[in-house]
Amino acid sequence: MRQKQLMKALTLATGLAIVSSAWAEAPKEWNVAGGEKDEAMLLEPDLENGMEVYEVCAACHLTEGWGTEEGTFPQLAGQHRDVLIKQLADIRALNRDNPTMYPFALPESIGDAQALADVTAYIATLPMNPENGVGPGDNLEQGKKLFEDNCVKCHGDHGQGDAEKFYPRLAGQHYKYMLRQFEWIRDGKRRNANPDMVKQIEGFSDADMVAVIDYTARLKPPEEDLAPSKDWLNPDFD
């Protein structure tokens, strides 16, 4: 069944040129009330079905939900469930431009609002990668100051985010993924970006951006949210 759904998703990918014009014309919205997002948040999740639905996601985000260090795919493990629901619903509603993910996020590929409720609940249970990608590490003091002055109010002093306000957890996320998203938000290329954040970071230089994201990528989630480190898993580790 999942293989058939995946084939349908791949077929849909060939039609992305058609929906690209819809993306261009769609209004930019941060957090519209109602719709599939609110519906999914009110449903009781089925973790077993969520694990099955996640098979489609795992092809890119990996079985562990850790994404890729080079930043092509974000770490999903440990992210707030409400944030995941919002982003999936936004992509499905053409409110966030993501041509790569769009065909795999459609109801034809993973299911209806219940599937959103199920798969996001499952993802939220996955332990996070303890060794996420970080940046060059050469301007962390400046990065810390920029983070404290501009990011703490919404994302928290440890990058923990705020599920109720749909602010994502940043701690533990890959540096290169965050850097790309930060640049798109700053430059007005992410349709569903919070306008308050766009305004907050509009004056950031490229150097500021690298510094603050490098610092942010080094913030660690609580130990109980992390998978064992590679050293701990190594039988030769002393």
pLDDT at 29: 66
pLDDT at 34: 76
pLDDT at 94: 93
- Is position 10 within any domain? yes
pLDDT at 71: 93
- Is position 129 within any domain? no
Which of these three, 63, 90, 124, is where a domain ends?
Answer: 124
Average pLDDT over residues 89-109: 94
Q: Is the pLDDT of residue 196 over 80?
A: yes
- Is position 111 within any domain? yes
Which of these three, 124, 150, 184, is where a domain ends?
Answer: 124
Average pLDDT over residues 117-122: 98
Q: Is the pLDDT of residue 88 over 70?
A: yes
Domain extent for 179: 140-229
Identify whether residues 6 and 120 lie together within a single domain.
Answer: yes
Per-residue pLDDT tens digits for 10-37: 544 444 444 444 444 444 567 777 789 9
Average pLDDT, the chain: 89
- Is position 61 within any domain? yes
Average pLDDT over residues 33-57: 95
pLDDT at 62: 97
- Is position 237 within any domain? no
Q: Is the pLDDT of residue 3 over 80?
A: no
pTM of the model: 0.85
> How is the chain classified by DSSP, letter by letter?
-HHHHHHHHHHHHTTHHHHHHHHHHSPP-S--SSHHHHHHHHSPP-HHHHHHHHHHHHHHH-TTS---TTSSS---TT--HHHHHHHHHHHHTTSS--TTTHHHHSHHHH-SHHHHHHHHHHHHTSPBPTT------S-HHHHHHHHHHHTHHHH-TTS--BGGGTBPP-TT--HHHHHHHHHHHHTT--TT--HHHHHHHTT--HHHHHHHHHHHHT----GGGBPPPHHHH-TT--
Identify whether residues 151 and 212 lie together within a single domain.
Answer: yes
Identify whether residues 10 and 87 lie together within a single domain.
Answer: yes
Of 6-20, 162-176, 203-217, the one with minimum mean pLDDT is 6-20
Q: Which CATH number fits the domain that encloses residue 216?
A: 1.10.760.10
pLDDT-derived band at 67 (thresholds 50, 70, 90) equals very high
pLDDT-derived band at 44 (thresholds 50, 70, 90) equals very high
